[in-house]
Every structure is written in C-alpha cells, then in structure tokens.
C-alpha cells in the first residue's frame, strides 16, 4: 500500500475502526459457554480484515488491527519528518522486506510491531537487527506496547546505534497528537 499524505492514513484508520465495530457487534452473538466463546473467537470467521472487511477469525483481526494502527502511526511520523521521501510503501503484515520503506530508494526503512511487551519473543531486538541490515539512510523500529521496558529498550539501542527506536503512544495509534 502506497501512502502519499496523512489524509490517506486517516481514511485507513477510519476503516480499521469500522471493522472493529463490526467485530464488537459479533461478540454479542457469542454463546454463553466460555469455552465455546473462546473457540468461536479463535476458529470462526466472526472477525473482519481491518483494511478490506473480508471475514477472518477474531484473533487474527486483533493482531492485524494493532499492527495496522502502529504502521499508520509510524508512517505519519515519517511523512512529517521526511517530506522528500516521495511517499511510503507499507507492506502487508508478514510480507518480505521492511514493513515501511520510502518510495525514494534508500532514504527510510522501518519495522513496526504491537505487543504486550517490546521484549516478547525478542521482537524489538530482531526487528532492530533486521532494519539495521538495510541500506537505508534512516532506519527505525516503531512499536506500541502498554508495558514499559526501559532497560531492555536501552540495551537494544546500544546494540544497534544506527537504528532509531521509537515507542508509539495510544494517541498516535488513533491518529491523535
């Protein structure tokens, strides 16, 4: 997905929130049995792709929703700071290459994630290592996590000094300053 201006990001955020509302309505239809409810969330198509609304399981919708919101927040930051980038290319989750790259070759590369903790599964370190290996002039890892981990974050910063590591706020995820 190519992004050229903040208005596009806001349009995508609106759609992500719309799909979240559709999933919330589906939650009202869950069986009262707790295991049946959990089974339905994991295996039934009661969720929706945050970008195009196609049905999928709720757990996948949760993962994609927060990854997409983090990507939009990161893209907003990058568009503001690098207006010369000619736009940004946002890769779908799990696609090869950087999660975000400037359309102008070699200017910006970024990895993006949302997790309970930035240290879960060594995600922060792995993403820093991945983006550090790119030839981009400006390299970033953006992440959203409600749980702070200052010491491990600083450790990764020291291991990869060419990579800018930037936590995202909930307000930024929602497109608020």
- pTM score: 0.91
Q: What is the DSSP string of 86-154?
A: --EEEPPTT-SS-SEEESSTTSEEEEEEE-SSTTGGGHHHHHHHHHHTS--SEEEEEEE-SS--HHHHH
Tokens of 61: 């919708």
Q: From first to last of its 177 residues, what are the pLDDT tens digits of the chain?
A: 999 999 999 999 999 999 999 999 988 888 788 899 899 999 999 999 999 999 999 999 999 999 999 999 999 999 999 999 999 999 876 567 789 999 999 999 999 999 998 888 889 999 999 999 999 999 999 999 988 777 788 899 999 999 999 999 999 999 986
Residue for token pair 């719309």: 18
Residue pair 149/119 in contact (Cβ under 8 Å)? The answer is yes
**For residue 93, what pLDDT is reported?**
62
**For residue 113, what pLDDT is reported?**
94
**For residue 95, what pLDDT is reported?**
64
Do the bridges between strand 163-167 and strand 138-144 make them parallel or antiparallel, or are there none, so unpaired?
Answer: parallel
């Amino acid at each position: 997905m190519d992004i050229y201006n903040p208005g596009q990001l806001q349009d995508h955020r609106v759609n992500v929130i719309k799909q979240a509302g559709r999933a919330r309505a589906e939650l009202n239809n869950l069986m009262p049995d707790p295991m049946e409810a959990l089974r339905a969330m994991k295996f039934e198509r009661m969720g929706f792709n945050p970008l195009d609304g196609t049905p999928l399981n709720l757990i996948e919708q949760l993962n994609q929703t927060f990854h997409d919101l983090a990507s939009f927040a990161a893209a907003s930051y990058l568009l503001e700071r690098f207006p010369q980038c000619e736009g940004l290319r946002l890769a779908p989750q799990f696609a090869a290459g950087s999660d975000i790259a400037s359309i102008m070759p070699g200017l910006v590369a970024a990895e993006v994630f949302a997790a309970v903790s930035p240290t879960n599964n060594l995600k922060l370190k792995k993403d820093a290592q991945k983006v550090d290996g790119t030839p981009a002039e400006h390299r970033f890892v953006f992440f959203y996590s409600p749980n702070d981990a200052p010491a491990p974050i600083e450790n990764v910063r020291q291991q990869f000094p060419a990579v800018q590591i930037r936590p995202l706020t909930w307000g930024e995820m929602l497109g608020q300053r």
